[in-house]
């Protein structure tokens, strides 16, 4: 009927209700065959989200900021010290008729903007300071092996893979990149760290690693 995912985030219990009857691109499901499941899912969702006029709007920016979150579950979170951007505009103008049909105009315009949004990568994904040589060599080794050139990481092995058609994107897709390229730590994806894991490479343990990186946990 539905898939329930329970996890703990920022000391809060979070429950995701996801339908499990939608089919796949290669195996679509007709609405008629899933009608009863859709109806049951609707009732389950309504039970989990009772109508309450006094309850705070979970998607309201004020509620999200109180929880230290921003809209959505991506890495674009609001800082706890968020201040609303504002703009101050001033316009002063003087006109003086010098003589008949001739007018002198002097205008002063000023626009001051403060607290503009600034994105900060708390994980420093791709930063050379957090280069992981072991992960880089493992990514190179796995790529060379995939192109039939053994598991070596020397020049001959790499040239062999390049001659067989390997490109930098092939090495990157096996971990010779940053954690941000995979949306998770390479340790959770490949079993070894990315070449540029960032300062928070252990965030893969979080059910929503993007949030972990955003908060610098």
Q: How many domains does the chain have?
A: 2
> Taking Cα atoms as reference points, which of 49, 60, 56 lies closest to residue 17?
49
CA atoms of 65 and 85, how far apart (whole Å): 15
Query: Tens of pLDDT along 134-156?
Result: 999 999 999 999 999 999 999 99
Determine, yes or no, domain membership for 118.
no
Neighbours of 27 (CB within 10 A): 6
Determine, yes or no, domain membership for 119.
no
Determine, yes or no, domain membership for 115.
no
CA atoms of 130 and 132, how far apart (whole Å): 6
Query: Tens of pLDDT along 41-64?
Result: 888 888 877 777 787 776 666 666
Determine, yes or no, domain membership for 61.
no
Range of the domain at 156: 128-215
| The pLDDT of residue 165 | 94
CA atoms of 9 and 210, how far apart (whole Å): 12
> Which residues of the chain register pLDDT less than 50?
5-11, 71-76, 202, 204-217
Determine, yes or no, domain membership for 18.
yes
Determine, yes or no, domain membership for 185.
yes
| The pLDDT of residue 152 | 94
Determine, yes or no, domain membership for 105.
no
Question: Which among 37, 55, 73 is the end of a domain?
Answer: 55
């Amino acid at each position: 009927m539905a898939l329930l995912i329970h996890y703990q985030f920022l000391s809060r219990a979070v429950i995701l209700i996801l339908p499990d009857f939608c089919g796949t691109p290669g195996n679509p499901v007709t609405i008629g065959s899933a009608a009863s499941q859709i109806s049951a899912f609707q009732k389950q969702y309504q039970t989990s989200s009772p109508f309450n006029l006094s309850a705070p709007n979970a998607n309201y920016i004020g509620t999200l900021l109180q929880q230290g979150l921003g809209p959505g579950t991506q890495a674009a979170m609001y800082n706890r010290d968020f201040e609303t951007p504002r703009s101050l505009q001033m316009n002063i103008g003087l006109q003086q008729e010098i003589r008949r049909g001739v007018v002198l105009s002097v205008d002063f315009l000023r626009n001051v903007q403060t607290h503009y949004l600034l994105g900060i990568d708390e994980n420093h994904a791709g930063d050379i300071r957090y280069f992981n040589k072991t992960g880089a060599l493992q990514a190179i080794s796995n790529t060379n092996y995939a192109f039939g050139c053994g598991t070596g990481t020397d020049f001959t092995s790499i040239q062999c893979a390049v001659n067989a058609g390997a490109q930098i994107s092939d090495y990157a897709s096996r971990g010779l990149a940053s954690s941000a390229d995979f949306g998770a730590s390479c340790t959770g994806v490949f079993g070894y760290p990315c070449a540029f894991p960032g300062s928070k490479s252990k965030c893969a343990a979080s059910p929503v690693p993007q949030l972990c990186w955003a908060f610098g946990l």
